[in-house]
Amino acid sequence: MQKALSVLTVLAYVTLPLGSERYEQALVPTLLVGLAYGALAVFGFPVVHRRGRAWRAAYVLVQLPLGFVLFALSGAAIGAVLLLVVLVSQAVLLLPLPAAAGVAAVIPLIHVEMAWPDGLREGLGTLAVTAFTVVITELLVREQRARAELAVAHERLRGYAAQAEQLATTQERNRVARDIHDGLGHHLTVVQMLLQAARAVIPTADPDRLDGMLAKAQEQAREALAEVRRSVAALREPRSAPLVDAVRELASEATGAGVPTEVEVRGTARAARAEVEESLFRAAQEGLTNVRKHADASAARVVLDYERVDLVRLEVRDDGRGLGDDPGGGYGLVGLRERVAGLGGRVSVDSAAGRGLTLTVEVPA
């Protein structure tokens, strides 16, 4: 905008010698005063624009009377009026809007020495021009300000997008880590328990029982491989089997690994959202894995409670030694809490040394 005003100033100065048909012009004084006015408008304006309010006000207070003098010397030349219009635009850029409007209202007084009908007509025309200049300049200023704010907002948005991408990456890593722990960890634990039980059976020379344990271990190893492939691909495949059947299968695995486990279903089992059933399945899987690994339990029970309409409740109980001095559990419980919290549910652990443990998960249905 400063460049445009500078170009307009130069063009207005060039037209000063044309004067007016109705009034005489003092050519040399007009050109000298016009040169001073134009130099201030082209070179002085950028300087005061970077200064404080006092400098800006002083610039306008100098240019305004200088413009009046130039108008009188030029014989009411159109170039002088254009230079005053440039001052109006500069006032909008330098001063608060009410002050700039005041400058626009004062400029039509250049016609005060004319006969009143002509003076009134010319003054109103000049007032319309200066008011239009104020409006257009203010709109341009606001548009430039909006562009600058938009650019800043765009940069902030890019920063937020980078943060969101980083957060999404972290969340995805955590999700894959939970799936590896809940899936692969579970299957490898079962394999380890089955192989340990198989080694214990070897001295009894019971081939059928030994073969059954090794077959289950082989199946668990196959499932572990499938879990690895799903985790590497960062995909979560929905389970085709109903949740109750999947939990019963987990209980059967736990029983085969040496911890007799029962499943109790309260209320009428009903289908829930895929992510809800996946979280409950992982909770049962984590609970039974911890029973086999840490509880030293003789029996366990899994309860699926559908009696409340608004949520599904799952409990994994055992009669083992409890968590002792570590009520927070390991990484598996941390990951389970994160998974359930993402669905608006909660996880609680009730444990006392020597009196077993109860893992409770409640998820909105």
Residue 27 class from Cβ within 10 Å (0-12 exposed, 13-18 middle, 19+ buried)? middle
Tens digit of pLDDT for each residue in 174-183?
Answer: 666 666 666 6
| Predicted local distance difference test score (pLDDT) of residue 139 | 93
Q: How far apart are the C-alpha atoms of 233 and 176, rounded to whole Å?
A: 9
**143 and 99 Cβ atoms separated by less than 8 Å:** no
pLDDT recorded at residue 336:
81
Q: Is 355 helix (H, G, I), strand (E, B) or coil?
A: coil
First-to-last alpha carbon distance for the chain, in angstroms, is 61
- Virtual CA dihedral for 80, 83, 89, 95, nearest 10 degrees? -90
> Residue 331's pLDDT is what?
52
Write the pLDDT tens digit of every residue in 325-336.
554 455 567 778
pLDDT of residue 172: 62
pLDDT of residue 235: 45
Phi-psi category of residue 267: left, alpha or beta, with phi > 0 → left and psi -120 to 50 → alpha? left
CB 87 within 8 A of CB 65: no
DSSP-assigned beta bridge partners for residue 357: 318, 351
CB 280 within 8 A of CB 306: no
For the entire predicted model, the pTM comes to 0.47
More confident residue, 201 or 302: 302
Q: Tens of pLDDT along 82-99? A: 999 999 999 999 999 999
Q: Is residue 237 predicted with pLDDT exceeding 70? A: no
Contact between residue 258 and residue 197 where contact means Cβ atoms under 8 Å apart: yes
Q: Is 33 within 8 Å of 66 (Cβ atoms)?
A: yes
- Whether the per-residue pLDDT at 291 is higher than 60: the answer is yes
**So what's the pLDDT on residue 312?**
93
| Separation between Cα atoms, residue 194 and residue 200, nearest integer Å | 10
Confidence check: pLDDT of 29 > 60: yes
pLDDT, the chain, mean: 84
Token code pair at residue 47: 């300087």
Q: What is the pLDDT of residue 42?
A: 94
The two tokens of residue 222 are: 């196959």
pLDDT at residue 130, rounded to an integer: 93
How much is the pLDDT for 234? 41
Please answer whether residues 321 and 295 qualify as being in contact, where contact means their C-beta atoms are separated by less than 8 angstroms: yes
- Measured distance CA(194)–CA(300) in Å, rounded: 17
CB 112 within 8 A of CB 119: yes
Please report which confidence band the pLDDT of residue 324 belongs to, taking 50, 70 and 90 as the band edges. Answer: low
